[in-house]
C-alpha cells in the first residue's frame, strides 16, 4: 500500500515552454503533498508543501510564479514549471502524507521522480 506515482517519468522540452508534472497517491488520500528538487549528487531540496484545496506554501527562495502547484484533489497534485530554462533542469520528486488516520507519524511516501531536461 501507500503508492505514489509521478507522470511523466522523463520530459525534455525547449526553453520557454511550460511543463506540467503530476503526482498521484494511488491507494490513499493524501492530506499533504510535497515537492522536492534534487540536483545531481545532492540531497533533496523541499520546494513547497501543498494541502488539498488551499494554496501551496513555498520554501524561501522558491519562486511561486515559476513553479505553480495545484492540489486539486486528495489524490492529485501538479507542479507546473513555467517558461522553463536550462537551469530548471533537475530531478523533481513528490511525496504524499496520508495523515494520522493511516500513519501514526505522518510518514511521507515518495514518487519515483521526474527527470526534466530543458534544452
Contact residues for other proteins (CB under 8 A)? Answer: 6, 32, 34, 41-44, 46, 49, 93, 95, 97, 100, 104-113, 115
Other Cβ atoms within 10 Å of 58 Cβ, number: 18
C-alpha 3/C-alpha 30 separation (Å) is: 11
For 83, list phi and psi in degrees, rounded to 5: 45, 60
In this complex, which beta carbon is closest to other proteins, that of residue 93 or of residue 116? 93
In this complex, which beta carbon is closest to other proteins, that of residue 51 or of residue 70? 51
In this complex, which beta carbon is closest to other proteins, that of residue 22 or of residue 82? 22
Shortest distance (Å) from residue 57 CB to other proteins = 10
Shortest distance (Å) from residue 41 CB to other proteins = 7
For 22, list phi and psi in degrees, rounded to 5: -105, 145
Q: What distance lies between CA 109 and its chain's CA centroid?
A: 12
Amino acid at each position: 500500500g501507500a503508492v505514489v506515482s509521478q507522470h511523466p517519468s522523463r520530459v525534455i522540452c525547449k526553453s520557454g515552454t511550460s511543463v506540467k508534472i503530476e503526482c498521484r497517491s494511488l491507494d490513499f488520500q493524501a492530506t499533504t503533498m510535497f515537492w522536492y528538487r534534487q540536483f545531481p549528487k545532492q540531497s533533496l531540496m523541499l520546494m513547497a508543501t501543498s494541502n488539498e484545496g488551499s494554496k501551496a506554501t513555498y520554501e524561501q527562495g522558491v519562486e511561486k510564479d515559476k513553479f505553480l502547484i495545484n492540489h486539486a484533489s486528495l489524490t492529485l497534485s501538479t507542479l507546473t514549471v513555467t517558461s522553463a530554462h536550462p537551469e530548471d533542469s533537475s530531478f523533481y520528486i513528490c511525496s504524499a502524507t496520508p495523515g494520522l488516520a493511516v500513519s501514526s507519524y505522518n510518514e511521507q511516501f515518495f514518487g519515483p521522480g521526474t527527470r526534466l531536461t530543458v534544452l
